[in-house]
Amino acid sequence: MAGKAAPKPKKAPAKRKPAAKAKPKRKAPAKKKAPTKRGVGKPTKYRAEWPDKAREMAKQGLVDKDIAYNFGIHATTMVRLKREHPELEQAINEGRRVANQKVESALFKRAVGFQAEEVTTKIIKLQDDDGNEVQREVEVTKKTKQVAPDTGACMCWLKNRDPQNWRDRHDVNLSTETPLQVEDVTNIEDAQRAYRELIESTKES
């Protein structure tokens, strides 16, 4: 009996190598855009109507900074425009003089006193026999009131109009031969008297 050949050993299945993971592709770095050069800003467009508007605003007491704000420009631009356009600066100065004259006139009236009309309004209700309101009458009373001079306004006027005589002086003498001298102008009666004399001399001249 013929013997059977011994069976050949079975080959172990070859181990498969795990598939290599695909490496993520690196994105190329974005090219940086060259910085654009900023050009010079557009010059402020000057408008022909600005001098008239600036004059009216200056009459109301607005300063250059306020006027520039209303024009929508910077204060430094206003300085440049006044230099480039003399008519603008002249208009502002004209309006400013009008405002100063108004303040000067009001200060003068407070210093010397003035008369003012005082108006009083009174509503009178009229009723019938049953107590029902039938109509209303308005009673207006006018009375002239004398406003006394204001000493503070007197001193302000004198210090600015006659500073040689009415400024707050402090005369200090450091010499050893004479004592220290300090003089203050604070006498209200003297201020009022001198102011009346100043006004009279102005009228005479």
Neighbours of 68 (CB within 10 A): 20
Residue 181 has pLDDT above 60, yes or no: no
Q: From CA 82, how far away is CA 77, in angstroms rounded?
A: 9
Residues 178 and 139 grouped into a single domain: no
Q: What is the largest distance, in Å, between two alpha-carbon atoms of the chain?
A: 170
Average pLDDT on 53-66 reads 94
Q: From CA 78, how far away is CA 84, in angstroms rounded?
A: 10
In which residue are the tokens 């039938």 written? Answer: 134
pLDDT of residue 204: 55
Question: If you average pLDDT over every residue of the chain, what do you get?
Answer: 75
Asked if the structure places residue 155 within a domain, the reply is: yes
Beta strand ranges found along 77-113 (DSSP E): none
pLDDT of residue 185: 47
**Long-range contact set of residues 63-71: C-beta below 8 Å, sequence gap at least 24:** 64/92, 67/92
Average pLDDT on 104-126 reads 84
Higher pLDDT, 161 or 15: 161
Confidence of residue 166 (pLDDT cuts 50, 70, 90): confident
Asked if the structure places residue 195 within a domain, the reply is: yes
DSSP output for 117-144:
EEEEEEEEEEE-TTS-EEEEEEEEEEEE
Token output for 38: 């900023």
Average pLDDT on 1-21 reads 57
Residues 105 and 119 grouped into a single domain: no
Average pLDDT on 17-26 reads 64
Asked if the structure places residue 52 within a domain, the reply is: yes
Q: From CA 150, how far away is CA 158, in angstroms rounded?
A: 13
Residues 60 and 81 grouped into a single domain: yes
Residues 169 and 143 grouped into a single domain: no
Asked if the structure places residue 16 within a domain, the reply is: no
Phi/psi of residue 25, each to 5°?
A: -75, 135
Last residue of a domain, one of 93, 112, 131: 112
pLDDT of residue 50: 95
- Determine the structural domain holding residue 184 and report its residue range: 150-205
Residues 63 and 104 grouped into a single domain: yes
Residues 51 and 106 grouped into a single domain: yes
> How many helical (H) and strand (E) elements, i.e. helices and strands, does the chain have?
7, 2
Higher pLDDT, 189 or 133: 133
Number of domains present in the structure of the chain = 3
Higher pLDDT, 203 or 73: 73
Higher pLDDT, 201 or 64: 64
